Amino acid sequence: MNLLQDLTFSSFMWFLSGAVVLLAVVLGFVTYAIYFERKVIGWIQLRKGPNRVGPLGLFQTVADVLKLLLKEDTIPRNADRFLFILAPVIAFVPAFVVLATIPYTSLLQFADLNVGLLYYFALSSISTIGILLGGWASNNKYSLLGGMRSAAQMISYEVPLVMSVVGVVLLSGSLSLNTIVEGQAGGFWQWNILPQFVGFIIFIIAAVSELNRTPFDLPEAESELVAGYHVEYSGFRFAFFMLAEYVYVYAIAALTTVLFLGGWHSPLPFLDFIPAIVWFILKFLSIVFFLFWIRATLPRIRVDHLMSLGWKVLLPLALVNIFVTTIVIELIKYFK
């Protein structure tokens, strides 16, 4: 549209400062998500978790990041230098870019794209290339195996992930995340999780797999591939991979909230007086907790089972879900 004409200096400054604030929020989230994850898993495993650096160990992650910054940055002699340096950036940048479309409340959103959902999936799959490149460029056999696994895994799970949300799109009739949330107003019985329960389950499984988290952490399967694709990475390049992983935790938790849990809407109408952002954060955090919780509980799935689960179970289920949703929507229209 007339974006360039509308872009005055003041609006540019607004966007810039907004982006900086978002960056700060996301980095703050990552810092404390790592802390929280270690605490939660510590509690589940009868340990104390980090408790030495700062009060209650709150500065543990800060110290870890500082340590990574100060580490010697090594590049293996036989590595493909250019790709080796490029890979963490490719893995990391899309993780941040997808956050632009997440609507936190009806007002707090950076870009209300009419294809927001598509934008999210299109960009997030670029990260896979970063991981694959990292595995390849390291010139290490374990990294290569990890990279191969991650490519196979992400392709297999991208498809059911996208298919699982088609039901939601059909219900709300839009790809815009804002419209999808608007369609879920008026109490928890309006949320997409109820009519789209199958879609929700498929989405969560596929999302965990996209995140490369337990039980789908095959690309970095510690007990088999030592550390998988980032075996050779050290210092801040390694931190970039870690950062990308946790930013995706943020993104997926936010997306799940938006798509299935009614976004910023309160579960019961009489609770509307509580600010919308509080509801969003509560739902968001429960998804984050769920992701950490299963990490402490489940063993790792095997790579060939992972493939058959993706292609033979999740994808057909997602297709059936689309089919049933369409029929029900049409029937309702017909009887009205």
Positions in the binding site for another protein (CB under 8 A): 41, 44-47, 141-142, 144-145, 148-149, 214-215, 217, 221-226, 295-305
Which is closer to another protein, CB of 96 or CB of 292?
Answer: 292
- Shorter beta-carbon distance to another protein: residue 133 or 221: 221
Identify which of residues 44 and 86 has a Cβ nearer to another protein in the complex. 44
- Chain mean position to CA 297: 20
Q: Are 177 and 105 in contact (CB under 8 A)?
A: no
Residue whose token pair is 């707090």: 108
Closest separation in Å from C-beta 336 to another protein:
42
- For another protein, the closer CB: 4 or 46: 46
Choose between 47 and 52: whose C-beta lies nearer to another protein.
Answer: 47
Q: Token pair of 202, please?
A: 């498929």
In the complex with another protein, which residue's Cβ is closer, 205 or 247? 205
Between CA 186 and CA 70 the distance in angstroms is 51
* Residue whose token pair is 């003041």: 10
Q: How many Å apart are CA 118 and CA 180, to the nearest integer?
A: 13
Rank residues 1 and 46 by Cβ distance to another protein and give the closer one. 46
Closest separation in Å from C-beta 104 to another protein:
33
In whole angstroms, the minimum distance from the beta carbon of 169 to another protein comes to 30
Q: Could you tell me the CA-to-CA distances from 279 to 39, 45, 105 in Å, in that order?
A: 24, 30, 9
Q: Using CA atoms, how far apart are residues 181 and 79, in angstroms rounded to an integer?
A: 46
Question: Tokens for 141?
Answer: 């056999």
Q: Considering the complex, what minimum distance in angstroms separates the CB of residue 233 from another protein?
A: 17
Q: Is 231 within 8 Å of 79 (Cβ atoms)?
A: no
Q: Quick one: 135 or 183, whose CB is closer to another protein?
A: 135
Checking 200-205 for CB contacts under 8 A at 24+ apart, the result is: 200/164, 200/260, 202/160, 202/161, 202/163, 202/164, 202/314, 202/317, 202/318, 202/321, 203/161, 203/164, 203/165, 203/256, 203/259, 203/260, 204/256, 205/160, 205/309, 205/314
Rounded Cα distance between 181 and 248, Å, is: 20
Is residue 239 within 8 Å of residue 65, measured between CB atoms?
yes
Compute the least distance from the CB of residue 149 to another protein, in Å.
8
Minimum distance from residue 298 beta carbon to another protein (Å): 6
Least CB distance from residue 239 to another protein, whole Å?
Answer: 21
Residue 19 CB, shortest distance to another protein, in Å, is 37
